[in-house]
Chain A
Amino acid sequence: MTGSGPDRRTFLQGGAAVLGGAALALGGRAAWDASTSTGPAVDPARDATAVDATAVDATAAGSAVVPFTGDRQAGVGTPPPAFVSLVAFDLVAGVDRGALVRLMRIWTDDLGRLTAGRPGLGDTEPELAGVPASLTATVGFGPGVFTACDLEAARPPWLAPLPALAVDRLQDTWSGGDLVVQICADDELTVAHTMRVLARQARTFTTVRWVQRGFRRSAGTTAPGTTMRNLMGQVDGTRNLVPGTDDALIWHEAGADTPAWLVGGTSMVVRRIAMDLDTWDALDRSGREIAVGRRLSDGAPLTGTAEHDEPDLDAVNDLGFTVIDTVAHIRRARSDNPDERFLRRGYNFDDPPAPPALSNSGLLFVTFQRDVTAQFVPIARRLDELDLMNTWTTPIGSAVFAVPGGCQEGEYLGQRLLG
């Protein structure tokens, strides 16, 4: 991988000082972590010395730090940790450019501290800040920021609601927003605390519009780099842009046509995709594999043997039918235009259902791309037209944000736009 800043998989084993006694205090949790990572399982009740000896490994996931400052914001090119809270805010009436500058100063300061495992100023629960757990917080601006700040001329043309799609059943409660923060960490308490600090400090500037919480496999449970699985059991996200390799499709880079604030920036699409797991239950395994075009066991295309094998879309079976169905998801999701791709960084959601439903589950489909209109929309239209998976999945929320470039030490987020 090239580039600098948060893009690198730079995990700093930070917070050693603040976490000094944490391993011992965690007790059983430390033992659990140890048993699921490289360290040997220990029983702290029987051998406190053993816990001490493995303390560093046992809390490695908790002490990992992803740098906050850099050319690009963290949380896009950095590996997705286990948990996310996507929080959208609406600006209250009267918030203008000057007010937004103050909010960005506050958030920048808070996030610089929290991502390093330190409490924010005036943090009323400072003890919750001591476990950074790869915390990242990625701030995005919705169209409303450009209106409120009288910066309409600076609003990128792709920063607007997605065009209406036939499959959409969008709900206001999961759509839009003037500001977004994508908070990711390998610990849910860290995510919750970070959200609380940011929302508390934003309370005179904003109201919370929606919160979407999601998860992947927990830290230390699968090999790093393992493609996530969604709640339908599918390996989800195999053919993805690779940060460091496909940067030109992810990031805005310096150039004549790039405003300074977008250099190192990107765009973020958040689609809440409901899964009808109850009807999915009725589908047998072969039906499920045909719908996607991949094997459930390992995500390999039905024409291949390994997850990352290139699907052979022309291969036919004994009956002369294509092995990968004409309306299979992976066939419909790919375009002949290699530029029509985006970075998927999704999470599962599994919220309490309203009776009589058994589940309220789905995917927080979060994507990053240089240009929403050029890269995301064509694929969304293809899938809207035809995709077997549309039988079981329904977009119920949608929002688009501009992610400004990262900030350096002493700068605040969005300074090159708002300053």
Chain B
Amino acid sequence: MTTPTMTTPTMTTRTRTTVSPRPAHRLGAGLLGLGLALALAGCAGGTSTSDPAAVDRASGAPGASSGPPDEAAALSITDPWIKAADTGMTAAFGTVVNDSDVEVRIVSATTTASPRAELHEMATNDAGEMVMRPKEGGFTVAANGSHELAPGGDHVMIMGITTAVRPGDEVSVTLTAQDGSELTFTAPARTFEGGNETYEGDATSTPGAPGATPTPAAS
């Protein structure tokens, strides 16, 4: 018998599948004052595509970087997962980590499970109810910080599932930063009964509604 050993288990696992810069917006660093920018850029009903130029102007960034888009290169995701669902809606979660010294804004998402993915938040509507709705301006990941995507909070909303997401399946999700660079990761599907928030404007649209519960077996 060996004597007890002292160690600390790894606390988290980080995933970083691919980062593929996409020449969309040639915006580099300098996203200071983004909070203000978001407030200014707010366009009602917008999903996740507030005008990046407005942000840049508001931030006062003196001349954006001229290199290829690489904001997402500093991003990784910890403990990603997606709620299993055969049809309808679901959502992806995880903690996005930013290892750079500049804030990174995620402005859109895509997934292999459906052509429709949006960046959503939970918020209180005018009636005082908690509802989920597209998040104006997307998700901001602070410099050397992280942004949690979790049931009941910000999440990647996936609508109109075209490929059933069965428990244990692995679904590819891509987050796109404001400069067009991307973080792609694999989200393992898990059975999850929660996350049945009301979708703003449509009380029946709940990702965890009985009809969306994955059916047994069949692989």
Taking Cβ atoms with an 8 Å cutoff, the residues of A that contact B are 1, 8-18, 64-65, 91-99, 101-103, 105-106, 109, 116-118, 120-122, 124, 200-201, 203-205
Contacts and interface: CB of A to CB of B under 8 A. Distances in A.
Contacts of A101: 168, 219
Nearest to B86: A204
A197 to B, nearest CB: 10
Given A11-B5, A122-B81, 18 more contacts: A11-B4, A12-B9, A13-B7, A15-B8, A16-B8, A64-B4, A92-B217, A94-B218, A96-B217, A97-B219, A99-B218, A121-B188, A121-B190, A122-B93, A122-B190, A204-B213, A204-B217, A205-B217
Interface in B2-52: 2, 4-12
Nearest to B213: A204
B10 A99 contact: no
A93 B9 CA distance: 38
B190 A9 contact: no
B2 A8 contact: yes
Contacts of B2: 1, 8-10
Contacts of B9: 12, 14-15, 65, 116-118
A200 B93 CA distance: 18
11 contacts: A8-B2, A9-B4, A13-B6, A16-B8, A91-B217, A96-B219, A98-B219, A103-B167, A122-B81, A204-B215, A204-B217
Contacts of B6: 12-13
A18 B11 contact: yes
Nearest to B219: A98
B188 A204 contact: no
Q: Which 8 A-B pairs have the closest CB atoms?
A: A102-B168, A98-B219, A94-B217, A116-B9, A121-B81, A122-B190, A14-B9, A95-B217
Interface of B: 1-2, 4-12, 79, 81, 83-84, 93, 151, 166-169, 188, 190-194, 213-219
A8 B5 CA distance: 11
Nearest to B150: A122
A19 to B, nearest CB: 10
B216 A94 contact: yes
Contacts of A65: 7, 9
Contact of B191 (A12, A64, A200): A200
Contacts of A93: 216-217
Contact of A12 (B7, B79, B218, B219): B7
Scoring B81, B190, B193, B213 by chain A CB atoms within 10 A of each residue's CB, the highest score goes to B190
A194 to B, nearest CB: 16
A80 B218 CA distance: 37
A1 B3 CA distance: 12
Contacts of B168: 99, 101-103, 105-106
A102 B219 contact: yes
Contact of B188 (A10, A97, A106, A118): A106
A116 B10 contact: yes
Contacts of B167: 102-103, 106, 201, 204-205
Binding site secondary structure of chain B: loop
A98 B8 CA distance: 35
B37 to A, nearest CB: 33
Scoring B83, B151, B166 by chain A CB atoms within 10 A of each residue's CB, the highest score goes to B166
Given A10-B2, A97-B219, A109 B188 contact: yes
Contacts of A15: 8-9
Contact of B216 (A1, A95, A121): A95
Contacts of B81: 121-122
A214 to B, nearest CB: 24
Nearest to A9: B1
B194 A102 contact: no
B217 A105 contact: no
A121 B79 contact: yes
A205 B219 CA distance: 11
A17 B11 contact: yes
Contacts of A94: 216-218
Scoring B1, B193, B217 by chain A CB atoms within 10 A of each residue's CB, the highest score goes to B217
A30 to B, nearest CB: 19
B217 A14 contact: no
A330 B107 CA distance: 72
B11 A124 contact: no
A201 B191 contact: yes
Contacts of A116: 9-10
A201 B190 CA distance: 7
Contacts of B188: 105-106, 109, 121
A204 B217 CA distance: 7
Contacts of A64: 4
A327 B137 CA distance: 81
A150 B192 CA distance: 29
Contacts of B7: 12-14, 65
A15 B12 CA distance: 12
Nearest to A121: B81
A224 to B, nearest CB: 9
A122 B217 contact: no
A97 B83 CA distance: 22
Contacts of B5: 10-13
Scoring B8, B12, B213 by chain A CB atoms within 10 A of each residue's CB, the highest score goes to B8
Contact of A102 (B12, B151, B169): B169
A264 B8 CA distance: 26
A17 B7 CA distance: 11
B216 A205 contact: yes
A204 B11 contact: no
Contacts of A18: 11
